[in-house]
Amino acid sequence: MTEPAPKPVNRSMTDAGAWRSDRLDVDGYLARLGIPARPPGRAALDEIHERHVRTFTFDNADVLLRQHPGVDLDAVQEKFVGRGRGGYCFEHSTLLSAALEQLGYRVIRRLARVGDPAGGPVGTRTHLVVEVVLDGERLLCDPGFGMSIVRPVPLIDGHEEEQDGERFRVVRTHEGDVAAWQLQRLRGQGWEVQHTTDEIPVHPADVADGHHVTSTSPGSHFTTSLIVARRLPDRHVTLTSDGVTIRRPGAPTEHQDVSPGELREWLGILDPHLSAEETERLLAWAAEHRTVSQRPAGRPTTAG
């Protein structure tokens, strides 16, 4: 059964005021996605979500370049809408949630913990997702995860669906006494928990604090490893300082090391809309932090 939607909140205090969604140039955002404005509905929501994840890269380039502008809406829309850049979850979900509010959707921002609690310690609540309540149905939007859903999924315990050759499942759980939801992806060894989203209210300060941790902590993988990911028409590609992972529907996952020259080529393919100067600085950072194995660059391996 579909879980009951959360009780209505005072939108004038939480959304229009605190989140400042009215500052978004929603026409510019839709133009960047290449789609027109449509009345709220499931088909329109699916279209916006999918176009978003296919248009903007998931990357931490600005973190590594020590030039991150922050995750408030003004900074995010200048970066994404103005320059076509990408970023990570705090930016993606900040932009999508503001756009959906402008377009008439009921939006609830949620924080999640990444990782599988059964597999060991998990991190802090440093992943931002978006819940949309539409026609009485609760839907999880997750535009800012490196390998995640293409379209929203219903928050229904046990719900499964396939998207772009990947199978996802939603599981109802708890974080202590707080209701929560796991988003799981089917891997070769079984279901893997991507993250657990709780239902604790989220405020702008929570998002700013989470961004501070992930963008400055020496223990954050965003400060220690390059990642640029994008859904291309026929594959999902994740690029790091040392290698590339390619996933195609119905095919084994392919991993291969990359040389510095190949890293430049892959940046061109994924196109995170970096300037020439930013690209050179990022390549210099990657060269300094390479940890690649001795296997010849370009030689592929496969994994389930």
pLDDT tens for residues 255-290? 999 999 999 999 999 999 999 999 999 999 999 988
Tokens read off for 175: 């974080």
**pTM of the full predicted structure?**
0.90
- The pLDDT of residue 206 is 97
Radius of gyration of the chain (CA): 19
242 in catalytic set:
no
> Does the pLDDT value for residue 303 go beyond 50?
no
Dihedral in degrees, nearest 10, Cα atoms 273, 300, 192, 209: -30
Tokens read off for 246: 């390619």
> Residues 62, 68, 72, 89: which is the catalytic one?
89
Q: Three-state SS for 38? A: coil
Q: How far is residue 69's CA from residue 225's CA, in Å, rounded to a whole number?
A: 19
Tokens read off for 176: 């202590």
177 in catalytic set:
no
pLDDT band at 3 (very low <50, low <70, confident <90, very high): low
More confident residue, 8 or 88: 88
Q: How far is residue 227's CA from residue 266's CA, in Å, rounded to a whole number?
A: 12
> Residues 49, 68, 92, 127: which is the catalytic one?
127
Tokens read off for 250: 């119905």
127 in catalytic set:
yes
Edge-to-edge strand ranges of the sheet holding 243-247: 58-59, 227-232, 235-240, 243-247, 253-257, 300-303
> How do residues 13-35 score in pLDDT, each as one tens digit?
344 468 999 999 999 999 999 99
Which of 201, 154, 216 has its CA nearest to residue 181?
154
> Residues 142, 198, 242, 257: which is the catalytic one?
142
